Amino acid sequence: FSALLEQDPDIAGLLVSELDRQRAGIQLIASENQTSPAVLAALGSTLSNKYAEGYPDARYYGGCAEVDKVEKLAIERAKELFGADHANVQPHSGASANQAVYGAFASPGDTILAMSLDHGGHLTHGFKVSFSGKWFNAVHYGVAQDTEDIDYDQVEALAKEHRPRIILAGGSAIPRLIDFERFRAIADEVGAIFWVDAAHFIGLVAGKVIPSPVPHADIVSFTTHKVLRGPRGGAIVCKEEHAKKIDRAVFPMMQGGPLMHGVAGKAVNFAECMTPAYQAYAQQVLDNAAALAGALDAHDIRPITGGTDTHLSLHDLRGVGVTGRDAEARCDAAGIVLNKNAIPFDPEKPNVASGIRVGSPSVTTQGMGTEQMGTIADLIHRAVTETDGDPEHPVAREIRAQVGELVTSYPAYPEPAAG
Ligand code: PLP
């Protein structure tokens, strides 16, 4: 860091400001986490210099002996962690991983069946502004109005009607476990590839606290930076029969040279995930998410589906008469970072939204437990109902002081003890 500070104080200063920001607030973005210093060290390494197009022992560049070892370790660890036949650790991100899965199994114009974005899916699941919506004929299922959980009967009916090439399960705002067996049966009935985008919950699978999609799905794609707590990036695991197709789709179909510093960071993270400490972390993530959802519910900020089985919950703010957009701004001004989110059948436009999404990965990494989730719910409720988005509002100041006390007791990236 001293070299950066000397050469480019502007960027160095911004890195410090961002670390300060991450330390100062309560971080409840469900897709974020605080990766370990060991992963950060891998990311900031000279592996970033190396071109390594291809795969271990079959590269298009010389000098790959060391990075081959890195990638082999990452692949072996991913296979062991998820009990998978095959792993590709090269996707630069979750969206790149998804692009490769489409590339492997579908051609432009093919039909895919996925969860709609406004019910909890993801942009890359056939939303019209994404490549996936432009290149494929995307048909979408959603949640049932009464349970607010995936409408499996609708999935089956749409699959039979449209005979998709791919059936995709997973998304960005799904608080409940997904019934992989049911999806598998539906996919088999219509002869479709069954793909799970496990970006959000794969860390809970790694920690063995929720069921794994790996035995059921043809393909599982994921990001490595959410609950999993690794570097920003993507990966794919699959059955042996699909291995060659997936590898060829990642490179050379969709990507060029892999980011070897990221691959090293993934290897470090996969090893971390196989420790008892990580399994305990994953369980605490679940406990904290349930506690936070329950405590917000007690304040009339209702969790969609009535609660959560995962690291995130989605809340309907209509009980307190505030929009998602206002709630996000009010919480932000009070030192609580979360995001507005459309809820199923939302009467508001997506940029206003009736809901918020909260997640427990970051606060759990900081060592908080269920008791602190009660405190956080109280602070969210006060910020949402008693402030107006002005950071100088007296109640916002008061909440920020309480946030400060909490994050001082449970710091992000604690300073090493002096001496
Ligand atoms: N898939 C799902 C379900 C996601 O939630 C996300 C990101 O939030 C992605 C894919 C895309 O990941 P990335 O932002 O790394 O491209």
Q: pLDDT for 29-74, tens place per residue?
A: 999 999 999 999 999 999 999 999 999 999 999 999 999 999 999 9
Residue 31 Cβ contacting ligand 1 at under 6 Å: yes
The pLDDT > 70 percentage for the chain reads 99
Query: For residue 419, what pLDDT band results from cuts at 50, 70 and 90?
Result: very low
Q: Which atom of ligand 1 is nearest to the CA of 95?
A: 16
Is 248's pLDDT higher than 90? yes
Average pLDDT along the chain: 97
CA 192 – CA 150 distance, rounded (Å): 19
Query: Would you state the pLDDT for residue 417?
Result: 63
166 CB less than 6 Å from ligand 1?
no
| Residue 383 scores a pLDDT above 80 | yes
pLDDT mean over 174-179: 98
Q: How far is the CA of 199 from the centre of ligand 1 (A)?
A: 6
**93 CB less than 6 Å from ligand 1?**
yes
Q: Is the C-beta atom of 94 inside 6 A of ligand 1?
A: yes
Q: How far apart are CA 110 and CA 305, in angstroms?
A: 33
> 168, 172, 228, 341: which to mutate for ligand 1, most atoms within 8 A of CB?
172
Q: What is the mean pLDDT of residues 223-237?
A: 98
Ligand 1 centroid distance, CA of 89 (Å)? 15
- Measured by CA distance, the residue closest to atom 10 of ligand 1 is 94
Q: What spacing in Å lies between the alpha carbon of 179 and ligand 1's midpoint?
A: 21
Ligand 1 touching residue 197 (CB < 6 A): yes
* pLDDT at site 240: 97
pLDDT tens digits, one per residue of 112-165 = 999 999 999 999 999 999 999 999 999 999 999 999 999 999 999 999 999 999
CA distance 186 to 297: 34
First to last CA, the chain: 20
302-330: average pLDDT:
98
Q: 415 pLDDT band (50/70/90 cuts)?
A: confident
ipTM above 0.95 for this complex: yes
What residues are labeled active site? 51, 53, 197, 223, 226, 232
CA distances from 244 to 85, 258, 311, 381 (A): 12, 17, 33, 51
Closest CA to ligand 1's atom 12: 94
Its pTM surpasses 0.90: yes
Q: What is the 215 CA–ligand 1 centroid distance (Å)?
A: 22
Asked if residue 388 has pLDDT above 70, the reply is: yes
SS3 of the chain: CHHHHHHCHHHHHHHHHHHHHHHHCEECCCCCCCCCHHHHHHHCCHHHHCCCCEECCEECCCCCHHHHHHHHHHHHHHHHHHCCCEEECCCCCHHHHHHHHHHHHCCCCCEEEEECHHHCCCCCCCCCCCHHHHHCEEEEECECCCCCCECHHHHHHHHHHHCCCEEEECCCCCCCCCCHHHHHHHHHHHCCEEEEECCCCHHHHHCCCCCCCCCCCCEEEEECCCCCCCCCCEEEEECHHHHHHHHHHHHHHHCCCCCHHHHHHHHHHHHHHCCHHHHHHHHHHHHHHHHHHHHHHHCCCEEHHHCCCCCEEEEEHHHHCCCHHHHHHHHHHCCEECEEECCCCCCCCCCCCCEEEEECHHHHHCCCCHHHHHHHHHHHHHHHHHCCCCCCCHHHHHHHHHHHHHHHHCCCCCCCCCC
